[in-house]
A and B are shown apart, each in its own frame.
Chain A
């Protein structure tokens, strides 16, 4: 029976990593795809639709896996998908140049009983390497599944896949594919099968073969109790497996994989002919350079430098355009209200919504460029090498080579950094990386440093202190990672093993699609969260507003100023002239002229515009601005944000903060750069940015350099912004983790800042503060060293007893 006209069939695209699965998916569905998440986990669920003839297909791109054993999130979702969403067929993408390893998953997929088409992809590469495959024999051995040859990146053979899908026979077969596991196991499975028939608690999914579930049961797959929830049957299977393990000294799962591989090796003898030796010669040559003992790391660092340079250099101009665009939008929307309107709605839309969302979207160019660069490195095959190069160094801090890229991305923005941890397969390694990632000082914290450092520190100290901030973050992250790896995640980390795919030239289409998928997730998630939080923070800053009395005083003074202007004959024309003068003066100062040139230009401008009336108009305008700023500050002081700041004052007094700093830190939860703006409002300076000298003067008047340092330190170490917390929640699969992370980071920040402030205050009063600081610094570094030593000792305990004591990942397998 061929597939009926007009029906929509569900297809699961499965295959090993690096088999070219995603390329084929992209070619099949083009832009008709969307990305979501599998329920409960962070693995991306990519689906797309495709038409061929009159047949409509819904294709799901399953994550690339080596097997269906549910030991990683990717494998678990692949299996869940096959079991729950019951695809009509599987299209299995097999790397023809690596047939034997790919056949392992192929056999498991066959055993599930879902009809399958086998696609021998990369067949050009196989030919190049002198690998010849007998399709007819292979098909015969694999339950007569149709076999199609393709070259995914050239698009050849794709039509044939679609034709085969249309022709595929989807009627359920009585006898499915069976791999013979030997008489004892077969007998046991037959026995359990008999019991299953009479068991009332188990209802098997119709499409997945019962036999495959029995295989899982005997392999003691962690998910199998979910599918066969009958405790008696489980017990039966477990006791049988125990008995077999005692007899053979091997797990049943090991025995079964041995049988699968034996079958594969036997099959490959008949089906595969190799005419060339040393198939990997080109890859070997490139690896000899890129993985060189001495040059490998420097080459990697240069590549990273180029990646970040390009990201921030090319990203700068579009960031400016986006900023300008949002400013224009604000102005345009604001134009619907009268010029001096105090409307709450206006403020909500322009400052709250447009300002908040704009603040996030402005990072988009950087993120798009960074993701493009990373996609190129991934598709070329280099990323696997980078992870390899760094694993040794990173393992000293309890991390893995694969953690490096996410951490580096974190310097740009923590959010895509956390998303990038998806490439880490082991849960403990991935969580550990996410937990310490906010300590990598992101781009949004830089404005805080560039505001505060020049306010308090002389020229020669500025660069070292900036470096000190980044270094402190990394140092605290390293210590924390080490401590977590020997406590919370003890023994859960997995030894490092990675496939090194052959190098290839990335395709533009593939890179763009990968980049777009990630950027879109960033936009969608962060955009919605930021929108909500912006509105809340905006409301907290304006509500409940100043008392009527204050407002009345303000109105009275404003009126008095207006009356004075009128009395002195300052009409609209003069005001317009004064305004024009101010604008031109500001423009002049931005031009970056030399001192002398600037002075002459100013003089010229003064001559052109200034007369007594214009001068007076300028004075009055300045008074008005001062009034406005005072009102804003008064409003903020009584606002929820200000009140919360005041409530928090006793908590943060040990850190050296006053309520203004507290409320700035609070606002920093929306986005770290908001701290600068908030300080500006609190000091009645209107809108300021990190280059504002007037704000620096105010800060220097009101705080000590130590307080400035402590504020920076706290902003660096405490809870990251909401977008980051929400992303962490998404990636770790629960608020529990994200909130615990945010709270512990804040407590850590409080402790360190308090220590610095209290000790710093005492030291500064002493006779020779510099020497004492150096001594304290040395003692701290020695302490950190000691912590590492103790942590290493802790790690060594409880190993497998082989005597090497280096073995979090080499612990003897548990045999219950």
Chain B
């Protein structure tokens, strides 16, 4: 599966029906980050339940994330001293910026 690479500077209106007042800025996702990189969580774009789960596990805006390895489509990251494994889908829901 090819992950689409999104240009960081382009404004993408994700879905008009969801919220007309909020324009999401498209950022590179955790999925696009490479091994050894240190990034910071920027935003989680998913259902409220999954957003809450990711937040409780440490994926909150501003928190640093360390990419340990990538294995096939999944990856292992370090967040606040804990090691987490994420599938491509989960990693794509987290936008990050390189710190």
Binding site for B on A (CB under 8 A): 65-67, 69, 71-72, 97-101, 104-105, 131, 245-246, 249-251, 253-254, 257-258, 260-262, 265, 279-280, 283-284, 287-288, 291, 293, 296, 384-385, 388, 391-392, 395, 425, 494-501, 800-804, 806-815
Contacts and interface: CB of A to CB of B under 8 A. Distances in A.
Contacts, number: 178
Sorted from nearest, which 5 A-B pairs have the closest CB atoms?
A67-B56, A495-B90, A66-B56, A495-B89, A496-B87
Given A802-B12, A806-B89, A105 B50 contact: no
B53 A814 contact: no
A104 B50 contact: no
Nearest to A95: B82
21 contacts: A69-B52, A69-B55, A71-B48, A71-B52, A99-B81, A101-B80, A253-B51, A279-B81, A388-B85, A395-B89, A495-B46, A496-B86, A497-B57, A498-B84, A500-B76, A500-B84, A802-B12, A807-B89, A809-B47, A810-B93, A815-B22
B18 A814 contact: yes
B19 A291 contact: no
A260 B43 CA distance: 16
Interface in B44-97: 44-58, 60-63, 68-69, 71-74, 76, 78-87, 89-90, 92-93
B45 A800 contact: yes
A803 B5 CA distance: 10
Contact of A815 (B19, B53, B92): B19
A72 B48 contact: no
Contact of A804 (B48, B52, B92): B92
B46 A249 contact: no
Contacts of B47: 494, 809, 811, 813-814
Size range of the chain B interface in the assembly: 35 or more
Contact of B76 (A67, A291, A808, A811): A291
B57 A809 contact: no
A808 B6 CA distance: 19
Contact of A500 (B1, B62, B85): B85
Contacts of B46: 495, 809-811, 813
A384 B85 CA distance: 9
Contacts of A249: 22, 24
B87 A391 contact: yes
Nearest to A69: B52
Interface of B: 1, 3-4, 6, 12, 14-15, 18-19, 21-22, 24, 26, 43-58, 60-63, 68-69, 71-74, 76, 78-87, 89-90, 92-93
A497 B60 contact: no
Nearest to A491: B47
A71 B44 CA distance: 16
Contact of B15 (A104, A254, A800): A800
Given A251-B48, A257-B55, A98 B82 contact: yes
Given A261-B60, A495-B50, A806 B85 contact: no
A729 B75 CA distance: 36
A254 B42 CA distance: 11
B61 A101 contact: no
A498 B85 contact: yes
Contacts of B62: 258, 261-262, 265
B23 to A, nearest CB: 8
Contacts of B51: 251, 253-254, 813
A494 B79 contact: no
Contacts of B14: 800-802, 812
A219 to B, nearest CB: 9
Nearest to A498: B85
A422 B29 CA distance: 31
B39 to A, nearest CB: 16
B32 to A, nearest CB: 12
B80 A100 contact: yes
Given A500-B83, A806-B1, A392 B72 contact: yes
Contacts of B26: 802
B40 to A, nearest CB: 12
Nearest to A284: B68
A808 B90 CA distance: 11
B49 A499 contact: no
Nearest to B22: A249
Q: Considering residues B50, B68, B89, which has the most beta carbons from chain A within 10 angstroms of its beta carbon?
A: B89
A497 B91 CA distance: 9
B14 to A, nearest CB: 5
Contacts of A296: 71
A696 to B, nearest CB: 49
Contacts of B52: 67, 69, 71, 253
Contacts of A395: 87, 89
Given A97-B81, A800-B15, 11 more contacts: A104-B58, A260-B60, A261-B58, A288-B69, A392-B87, A496-B87, A497-B87, A804-B4, A806-B1, A812-B14, A812-B45
Contacts of A287: 69, 76
A497 B68 contact: no
A253 B53 CA distance: 12
A392 B74 contact: yes
Contact of A105 (B6, B56, B72, B74): B56
Nearest to A249: B22
A293 B45 CA distance: 29
Contact of B71 (A291, A384, A810): A291
Contacts of B57: 66, 101, 497, 499
Contacts of B18: 812-815
A810 B29 CA distance: 12
A258 B90 contact: no
Contacts of A392: 72-74, 87
A499 B50 contact: no
Contacts of A811: 46-47
Contacts of A254: 44, 51, 55, 60-61
A813 B48 contact: yes
A595 to B, nearest CB: 57
B29 to A, nearest CB: 9
Given A246-B22, A497-B84, A809 B90 contact: yes
Contacts of B21: 246
Contact of B90 (A260, A385, A497, A804): A497
